[in-house]
Each structure stands twice: as structure tokens, then as C-alpha cells.
Chains A and B, each alone.
Chain A
């Protein structure tokens, strides 16, 4: 079911609501035109739960899984496999809200977080999860000696200590209400201390395996056959009864191979993204395609510290000149939304009505060439050259670069390309030398949890890990710092929304489109989570066969 096919249904529901205003829930008193329409309307967060037992399902990821150690998990394959088998302190539900996971959290003071383990939580081997396991797991993330990727997440943490038989307390230097979100994601994954210390450096590798708490446990991991996970018979959460006995997470690097695997049923399901032949699968008799809220943003990273793109007006002009609708149909085959902010609306995990109201008020970033040309000439940039970093070996990057080239030339700018191999594209992100002379490049980027701020902070804060153009705006910085220390979700959302609205005008990055989360399932299967939160929390609890 594609979004395009779902739209008429959504419109019909809206019309019905307008006619029967009295029957439309709590907001019925207001005229229909003023009601908030969720920006992700028409997308599904979950699929109907499976009803029958299935022996084995092969789940495709875009390359083989490298590591099952959460401190090294920062890409789709690793996240997919870890979130299938492991659980975090807090849980990110399919709709992005944060709920109790292995523990509940309380804030006795703004700088204290107290986690109480839920009764009965235990590892695959039956041993209970102890506060010592929690402290060890978090310390492994924080401690630079382990070389983990998430150390910066804990920058406001003063100490983490066992404070009771089932209690762990995190003391903060400053209030940090973003930490909860991080602890519902990879940084909050809990592992068994005794197992992990016994395995040492082998933890999370094929040689050492892992010891987690989730509904599926690691059975085998061989270089040849991918990762095999089977139902954990000792799962602590008795409300969950997995119906698929075995899930094999397999790397399939080739899009053609992936497509034929889905068509023949050799692959049971996948969250493959950026498929330009998605409609071929949508029209297949054996595959069902779902679109859920996404959390990633397809954007043009501005890395220029001087030259035309250092000017806000030129960035705005370039954004106004971009044909986003063409990108949505050519690159995503329909599986993306027009942007209003840098954040994907699928990231509204809290303060949802506040975010939605602000989002609805913000203008869609549409095309207006006349205004764009005016802005360029106002900035005196007509005839100047921008250099775009690109690679012709990645089809999506290449065609979006083409869209930018077209946009820039349409408004009187000249474009130079700096093309590198697919393997070297990563250097634009990591190597200042590779970025030299490059004014911008394309990315698909996401934060660690459902919060618009999760990505924005990495881009606009002066210390942000993805702030390539030395962007600094005192008002944005103030809004985000204030949000980090605001306890009330709605007030926090209001601050973040203001920051997003500002960023959509200043364009530290230029948002291209907001990809939806694409879930593909064989018609005989149903029940997988359809939203982007599969990256951070168990997604196969309800997966099963359908009659």
C-alpha cells in the first residue's frame, strides 16, 4: 500500500469528520478547518499483528552486520539486528513516545534521574538484570577506553551509581532532558556484565556473541549465513509472544538481488530504503509495501564557510529553486514527504500537538523561481560558482546532485562538481581536507530518537558533530540549550519548534525531502513495526503469519 494509494482514503476520512463534527472526538467543538492534521497522516506506525506461527523468516539489510556491540551501532544493519534482540532502559514505542523499558525513570530533581528496574527482567540465560549490569552497560558507552561512538551523549553526566537493590541513579551536572531519549536508543541497551567482561574485546563479535534481554536471542552468527536469532523461551515480558520461531538477518547489497529476493519470497521482509523501483514491489502479487513515519532527513549539507552559500539569501534561493517533487518521484518513487522543517515530522515523539500546530503553521518548502532569482541578485551572487561534492557511483546522490545543479543554474549560479568514488564519499563527512573547496553535499541523516532536536543540535550548535560550516546563531543556540533543560514536554516542544522554524529560514542545511519509513513484507507475513523506531526498539514482537 503506497502513500499515494492511501491519500484518497485519508481525504475521505477527513471529509466524514467535517460532516459529522459532533462525532469527531474531543476537538469536535472547533470547525474542521482549524483542526490539526498530523503531518504524518496516512502513514502507519505498525502493521496488523500476525496470527499464525512461522518457522523462519529471512530479513534483509543493505549490507552484512558488522557488530552486535551497541557502542559501535550507528547504521541500519547493526541497529536492525541489535534492536531485534536487545532492549534499552527506556523503550521507544512505534509512535516515537518514550515509555518504560527495562526500567522506569523518575526525576526527583532536575539533575537526578532515578531508574528502577522492572520486576522480573532477566537475560536470555535466565539471570536477573541487576543495577550493576546497568551501570556497567552505561559506563561502557561513556568510557573512551572502549572506543564507543556515543560518548558525547553523556557529556552532562556527573556520575552513575547503584543506589538500591533495583535502582540506579544518574547525577547530572546540568539538567538534560534529552538523555531519556538517548537511553531509549542504542546508548541505553543493557548487556550482562559478567558475560561481557568474560568476552572482553570479543563481545559483540561472531566469536564472542552477546547477552541481552530481548524477545529473540542470538543462536548463531556465521560469516556465511548472516545472523540467526531464535525466540527467547525465558523472555521476561510475558505479554509478548513472538510467532516467528527464527529470524535470519542477512546482508543483501545489491538492489536487483534484493528485489528478486522479495519477489520470489527468499526474503521475507526488510526496511530497505531509497529503492527507485519501489513501485515494482508495490505492484507485485507477493509483496506488501507499507509506509510509516520516518525520522531521517534527506538534506543538502552546507559546508561553505565563505563564497555564495555562506549567504543566507543564496541558500534560501537555492532552496526555492529546488524541484523537490521530482526528487520524491525519481529518487524515492513516492516514499517521501515535502519538507517544512529540517526535522522529519515522524520525529514528533513528545509534545505532539505543540509540534503539529507549529509545523502546520510553517510554510512548505516549495518551488518559486522568480523569488529565488531575485534573492540571488540581491545577494550579488549572480554568476558565482558553487562546488558540490558528489559521487556518480551512488545513484541517489548523483540524481539529487543533478537536481541541485539544475536549481542553481536556473537562478544564475554556476556549478562545479567534485566527484569521488562511492567508498570515498564518507570523507566529506569526516575529513576537513576532503571538504576543502566543497560548498555542500547530499546526505540522508537522522538522530538517535524521536525528537526534532536530536538531529538539529548536531547541525547548528557550535559544538555540533555535523556543524561543517561553523554555523552559529545565538538565538538558535539559546533555544536549544533552554530546551535541553526544560522538564515539561510541551514547553520543551515549543522551544524546539521555534528553533526548527528559525532553522528552516536560516537553512544551516537545506532540507530536500522527508523520507517515509518503508517496510516491505511478503504477503504471507504481517505485524512488523512500520515506523523508523524499528532502529531503536524491538520490531518483530508481533510479526507472524497471516491467513
Chain B
């Protein structure tokens, strides 16, 4: 069972990677412009220089040959060379991966702790707590992350000076400080969704018959909430948390640009603009892998949370 789950997941990953790489390569190939003109800043190059550069990057070959050339190298662990940076794509990715990884993890932590926490609070404490959670989440769900970024920078770094306005840190401590505002900006709207879903799920479970029965049997409130309400509410919460966290990977680009972080997303945008194929491919593949991995983890969690759910099947 477990092996079949793993094998199926692996096959899905490989298939996604192949399809994604082909689609991205094709889209970028069809888009107007070419990397050499982006490289030369629009200056007209002598024909001889142009030929040399085109040959160096195999740009003079037909589409399928170019794709095969890239795929063959990638299968041998060589992701190619960035045309604009003249650096190995794996080095480009390695240098930026930790920023994006750290940012997404930090934001995920905020979403899970604050989002689920406030959702539970709102569900179990009707009245002022519930209302204030509803109002705050309504506002924060409506704020796009780039707006949140501008507001956070203006208030917390320009006016109050508590956090740095841009850039990555140099040590672990300063990294956390540098990533705090970006992580909040990234988490804000997803956090609201998670809080809302949590609140609804917990409310629904609390109204179920078995909970009413448990109450009438005099089971202590703490145990009641943990065993009977939260355990059952956990499945929808996990689903929505998984999806929102996986989507953070894509949204991270916006936040990275706003805070001038040297992350994968921000560089992906830049590379796509300068038609730096190898970099776009390399970074996209990393993002696809991360997305598939997060989904696999969510599926594992289903099986852990609910013994009735078999590994690899869908939660009901």
C-alpha cells in the first residue's frame, strides 16, 4: 500500500515535470523577443558577434532540437547556463532557494498558528472574539500582498524602524528579522481564508449529534474540543491549509520584488522577461517539485488524521 502510494506519487511528479517543462519551454520560445537582444540592451550587434552568441546558446537550432538539448542535459543533472548571468542554473537556484524556502515556511507557520488559532477562537467564543476575527479576516482577505507589503514597509520600517525595509540578512537571527515583514505580507490573505474555513469547520462539528451526546454525558470541555471537535474538523482545515500554502510559492514572487529579496520567484520574473530559458525552466521545475511535495504531505496527513482514509485515496 505504502509503496504503491510512493510509486504513484513519483510517477505523477515525473509526468508533471515533463509536461511543465515542455509547456514552459514552448511558451517562452513562442513569445516575442530573443535573449540576445535582451542581453545587449537593445544595441544592434555586429552580425559576426550575433552568430557567435547564437551558436553558444544553441539559439540557431529548431525548437524541438533546442528542447531535446535542454532535456538531455537536465537528465544528466546539468540544468544549463543562464544567458544573462553566465552562471550555472543550479548555482543560481541554490543561491536563492533558501530565501524563498524560508519565506514560504515562515509564512506557512504564521498561517497555521494564527489562522487556525483565530479560527478556533472565533468558533468557540461567539461574541466579541468571533466578531473581531470576522472583521479582521474580511479586511485582510481583501488586501493583495503587494499592498500589504507597501503598508507594512511604511509603518514598521520607515515610520517605526522596527524591521529592515529590504534585503536578506547575513546571519540566522538577522535573516528572521529581514523575513518577518515579507512573511506577514505573504501570509495575510491566505491566513484569513484558513481562519474562515477553520471557524466554519469547527462550528459544524460542534453542532454534530455525537458532540451533543458527549456534552450530555458530561465529558470535560477540553477533552470534548480536542477529541470530538478538532479531530473531525482537521480534514477540511488540512485541505485548505495545504492548498493555500502550496499557492504561496507562486505568490512569493510579488513579495520578494516588493522587499527586494533575492528569491526564486523574483528572479523567475526577471528571467522570463529577458527570455533566459534555462533559468525559467530550472526555477519552474523546483516550484513544481515543491508543489507536488506539499500535496503529497497533505495526503499523508489525511491518512494520519483519519484511519478510515486509505493512503492515496481522497478524503470524503
Contacts and interface: CB of A to CB of B under 8 A. Distances in A.
Interface of A: 58, 63-64, 66-67, 72, 74-75, 144-149, 151-152, 201-202, 204-207, 222-226, 250-254, 256-258, 260-261, 263-264, 266-267, 422-424, 426-427, 429-431, 434, 465-466
A63 B262 CA distance: 11
A283 B168 CA distance: 28
Interface string B219-243: 0000000000000000000000000
B87 A206 contact: yes
Contact of B166 (A204, A223, A225, A260): A260
A58 B262 CA distance: 15
Contacts of B127: none
B165 A149 contact: no
Given A207-B88, A223-B92, A427 B165 contact: no
Contact of B95 (A148, A205, A224): A224
Interface in B93-107: 94-96, 99
B33 A427 contact: yes
Of A74, A75, A253, A254, chain B has the most CB atoms within 10 Å of the CB of A254
B2 interface: no
Contacts of A260: 153-154, 157-158, 165-166
B44 A256 contact: no
B166 to A, nearest CB: 5
Contacts of A224: 95-96, 99, 168, 262
A152 B46 contact: yes
A223 B165 contact: no
Residue among A149, A250, A251, A465 with max Cβ neighbours from chain B (10 Å): A149
A431 B164 CA distance: 42
A205 B52 contact: no
B85 interface: yes
Contacts of A201: 86
B260 A254 contact: yes
10 contacts: A67-B86, A75-B41, A144-B46, A147-B45, A147-B56, A148-B49, A261-B165, A427-B32, A427-B37, A430-B44
B302 interface: no
B262 A225 contact: yes
Contacts of A258: 260
B26 interface: no
Across the A-B interface, give the 8 residue pairs with the lowest CB-CB distance, nearest first. A223-B95, A144-B48, A205-B86, A429-B42, A423-B273, A430-B37, A260-B165, A465-B44
A257 B38 contact: no
Interface of B: 32-33, 37-46, 48-50, 52-53, 56, 84-88, 91-92, 94-96, 99, 150, 153-154, 157-158, 161, 164-168, 170, 257-260, 262, 266-267, 270, 272-274
Contacts of B32: 424, 427, 431, 434
B168 A225 contact: yes
Given A207-B91, A223-B91, A253 B86 contact: no
A224 B50 CA distance: 30
A76 to B, nearest CB: 10
Contact of B91 (A147, A206, A226, A422): A206
B85 A149 contact: no
A122 B81 CA distance: 33
Contacts of A426: 33, 37-38, 41-42
Contacts of A149: 40-41, 43, 45, 49
A421 to B, nearest CB: 9
Contacts of A264: 157-158, 161, 164-165
Contacts of A252: 166, 260
Nearest to B83: A66
A264 B56 CA distance: 44
B41 A74 contact: yes
Residue of B85, B86, B88 contacting most chain A CB atoms (<10 Å): B86
A263 B158 contact: yes
B44 A147 contact: no
A465 B92 contact: no
Contacts of A250: 167, 260
Given A224-B168, A256-B153, 16 more contacts: A58-B167, A146-B52, A147-B53, A149-B43, A151-B46, A222-B95, A224-B96, A252-B260, A253-B257, A254-B257, A260-B166, A264-B165, A266-B165, A266-B166, A423-B33, A466-B44
Nearest to B178: A266
Contacts of A148: 49
A75 B41 CA distance: 7
Contact of B86 (A202, A254, A261, A424): A202
B87 A207 contact: yes
Contact of A431 (B37, B257, B260): B37
A149 B257 CA distance: 29
A66 B52 contact: no
B103 to A, nearest CB: 13
A291 B39 CA distance: 30
Contacts of A257: 153, 165-166, 257-260
Contacts of B259: 257
A253 B84 CA distance: 16
A464 to B, nearest CB: 9
A430 B42 contact: yes
Contact of A261 (B44, B96, B166): B166
Contacts of A202: 86
Contacts of B42: 426, 429-430
Contacts of B95: 222-224
B49 A205 contact: no
Nearest to B99: A224
B258 A205 contact: no
A518 to B, nearest CB: 19
A429 B96 CA distance: 32
Given A256-B150, A261-B165, A424 B33 contact: yes
Contacts of B273: 422-423
Contacts of A261: 165-167, 260
